[in-house]
Amino acid sequence: VNAAKQALSKAGRDPSDVDAVICSCSSLQRPYPAVGIEIQNALGTNGFAYDMNVACSSATFAMQNAYDMVRAGHARSALVVNPELCTGHLNFRDRETHFIFGDAAVAVLIEKAEIAPAGSWAILGTKCVTKFSNNIRNNFGFLNRCDPSGIGKPDKLITQQGRKVFKEVVPLVSEMILQHMAELDLKPSDMRRLWLHQANSNMNRLIAARVLGHEANEDESPTVLDEYGNTAGAGSIIAFHNHSSDLKTGDKGLICSFGAGYSAGSIFVQKAA
């Protein structure tokens, strides 16, 4: 709720201006009622709200949903909220995962260009890709909670095969981004900055190099992983929030997240006047 209030304040909007709320994250508190509706109630927004979960790609997938509903006329302003409480599904005995994650919440307001405030970012295009994999998995759910053979088992928390994920996700994401750039008639030289998913700096370095055609520096592909940890879907949005104010009108960039599913979402943006 605090992240949502900050997003509305920065955009100069009141809760009454919002027509839809999407709560999208990898760690939803419960199946129902939708957490998004509770956020809607706490903020006092209009219209409707719902939840969705695409693991570490939750924020970008929700932003595409919000973008599509605004373009279709179903909402003037759609609020995406991404509360990632990763601590809740960590196995603190698993050295593959427990030390890399952090908790965070971010929010993004998507609305029609004609009503957007000065200094906003225009969305040039969105793209989402999924490919099934068990290499990042959590089996916890209300259908298996009473199975005595599964109580307390480590598969009810996050499990990850890190090396396999690295090997398979880097080409998946790189190819998606390059294909998306071609669809939008964008070139690597058009990219002022890449705000990538904050899970693995080596992974980001390889993806950025494949996209840009050269080794990216910290200015071209900023890192917040060292400060916040892996905050799942929130990471790329935190990177954008912390490292976008210096860009000028007309500058273009990419917000990209990827993770369990596998799933990957890319959003190309341009700084508006």
Span 231-241, average pLDDT: 97
The residue from 82, 100, 117 where one domain ends is 117
Helix (H) or strand (E) holding 129: strand 121-130
Report the C-alpha dihedral over residues 24, 30, 35, 37, rounded to 10 degrees. Answer: 120
DSSP 8-state secondary structure symbol assigned to residue 106: E
Give the pLDDT confidence of 84-121 residue by residue, as tens digits: 999 888 888 888 777 889 999 999 999 999 999 999 99
How many domains would you assign to the chain? 2
**What does the alpha-carbon distance between residue 171 and residue 161 come to, in Å, rounded to a whole number?**
17
The DSSP secondary structure of 72-87, one letter per residue, reads HTS-SEEEEEEEEEGG
Residue 14 pLDDT: 97
Residue 166, C-beta contacts closer than 8 angstroms, at least 6 positions apart: 200, 202, 203
Tokens matching residue 47: 């219209």
> Which candidate, 260, 67, 256, 68, places its Cα nearest to that of 180?
256
Judge contact between 82 and 62, C-beta under 8 A.
yes
The residue from 117, 133, 149 where one domain ends is 117
Chain CA centroid to CA 212, Å:
21
The residue from 76, 98, 117 where one domain ends is 117
Residue type, 202: N
Q: Do 128 and 229 belong together in one domain?
A: yes
Q: Do 130 and 79 belong together in one domain?
A: no
Q: Rounded to whole angstroms, what are the CA distances from 104 to 114, 203, 232, 258? A: 31, 21, 9, 17
Residue 146 pLDDT: 64
Residue type, 98: H
Does 128 qualify as catalytic in the annotation?
Answer: no
**What does the alpha-carbon distance between residue 182 and residue 83 come to, in Å, rounded to a whole number?**
32
Q: What is the pTM of this model?
A: 0.92
Residue 189, C-beta contacts closer than 8 angstroms, at least 6 positions apart: none
Q: Do 155 and 78 belong together in one domain?
A: no
Residue type, 116: A
Structural domain that includes position 206: 122-271
Q: Do 148 and 230 belong together in one domain?
A: yes
Q: Do 71 and 133 belong together in one domain?
A: no
Residue 44, C-beta contacts closer than 8 angstroms, at least 6 positions apart: 15, 16
CATH number of the domain encompassing residue 154? 3.40.47.10
Residue 195 pLDDT: 99
Q: Which residue has the higher pLDDT, 245 or 31?
A: 245
First to last CA, the chain: 29
Supply the Cα-derived Rg of the chain in whole angstroms. 18
Instruction: Exactly one of 23, 25, 56, 256 is catalytic; name it.
Output: 56
Q: Do 80 and 182 belong together in one domain?
A: no
Give the pLDDT confidence of 46-82 residue by residue, as tens digits: 999 999 999 999 999 999 999 999 999 999 999 999 9
Residue 157 pLDDT class (50, 70, 90 cuts): confident
Residue 150 pLDDT: 66
Instruction: Reply yes or no on whether the pLDDT at 145 is more than 70.
Output: no
Q: Do 25 and 152 belong together in one domain?
A: no
